Amino acid sequence: MTGRAVTSLSNPTVKAVRALHLRKDRDATGLFVAEGLKTVTEGVETGRAPRILLHGAEAGDHPLMIKAIEATLAGRGEVIEVTPEILAKVSRRDNPQAVVGVFAQVFTPLGALEPQAAACWVALHRVRDPGNLGTIVRTADAAGCGAVILVGECCDPYSVEAVRATMGSIFAVPLVKASEAEFAAWRNDWPGCVVGTLLSAEADHRQAAYVRPTLVLMGNEQQGLPADMAALCDVNVKIPMRGRADSLNLAVATGIMIYAAT
Ligand code: SAM
């Protein structure tokens, strides 16, 4: 017995999952949508049981799917077989993934971070683009960063777009939310160096002394890092640009900084 079958778009669970495309519904429920068997499996393997698991008929007997179903049922979650039409509506895609999991959001408190646990940590000031944020979480995971800290008003790391861009790393990297004031106060006790990134900086990013643990601070896509945030850093650096581009994409710049610091 794996669960029940649903064919109606007006089913209340299906409607609730579709509503998780909206930030207000994610904020109200503390839930988010993870699409695809790979991402759902990442969640299950990191000990997070889906609250709801929707799947197409053909996905039901894949060995990883069986594990995901077992984890969902063990956590008292709901497993529902749905039609391709429902999967398309839930994903807002013509070619949806055959599996969709709904998981609880997790945020780590700033004060719970242990700076010595990783060589590099990432702080993003007012990141706006979910694709950038998801790509940065994926890169932070790949490089073994300690956390991604969202400073000030940021886009939602648990939006469907951001989660897609993480390619499963959404479950692997601690996410932290902090106001500018909280971050400024917490940064005072940082045992390593805090490296800001500024287009106007004199120092080349390759010349900075990355005293570990290194905390890399990145600016917003439009405005960059404001003066008060740059002033919190031990050093501000620039990644050289040799062509006509006036800046790098935020996620690309973050990737370069993470790997320079590790
Ligand atoms: N107009 C913005 C500005 O003046 O900073 C451009 C922001 S850029 C698209 C977004 C962020 O990526 C920047 O705040 C910085 O953190 C990082 N960044 C992009 N290019 C960079 C570079 N060449 N050197 C250092 N950081 C860079």
Domains of the chain: 4-104 (3.30.1330.30), 110-261 (3.40.1280.10)
- Give the pLDDT of residue 90: 93
CA atoms within 13 A on the CB side of 71: 23
- Give the pLDDT of residue 2: 59
pLDDT band at 225 (very low <50, low <70, confident <90, very high): very high
- Give the pLDDT of residue 1: 44
217 CA closest ligand 1 atom index: 16
Q: Is the pLDDT of residue 86 over 90?
A: yes
**Ligand 1 contacts CB of residue 247 (under 6 A):** yes
- pLDDT tens per residue, range 105-119: 999 999 999 999 999
- C-beta of residue 90 within 8 angstroms of C-beta of residue 17: yes
- C-beta of residue 45 within 8 angstroms of C-beta of residue 69: no
Nearest to 30 by CA among 154, 156, 193: 156
Between the CA of 39 and the centroid of ligand 1 the distance, in Å, is 30
Q: Is the pLDDT of residue 140 over 50?
A: yes
Nearest to 96 by CA among 43, 156, 34, 44: 34
Mean pLDDT of the 73-99 span: 94
**Ligand 1 contacts CB of residue 219 (under 6 A):** yes
- Give the pLDDT of residue 59: 86
Report the SS3 class of residue 82: strand
- C-beta of residue 40 within 8 angstroms of C-beta of residue 77: no
Instruction: Compute the CA torsion angle 36, 37, 39, 44 (nearest 10 deg).
Output: 140
**Strand-strand pairing, 52-55 and 175-178:** unpaired
Percent of the chain past pLDDT 70, that is, above it, reads 99
Q: Is the pLDDT of residue 123 over 60?
A: yes
pLDDT band at 167 (very low <50, low <70, confident <90, very high): very high
- Provide the whole-model pTM: 0.97
- Give the pLDDT of residue 209: 87
For residue 182, the tally of other CB atoms under 10 A from its CB is 17
**Ligand 1 contacts CB of residue 204 (under 6 A):** no
* For ligand 1, mutation pick of 250, 252, 257, 259 (most atoms within 8 Å of CB): 250
Q: Name the closest-CA residue to atom 7, ligand 1.
A: 224
Mean pLDDT of the 46-56 span: 97
Give the C-alpha separation, 255 to 262, whole Å. 11
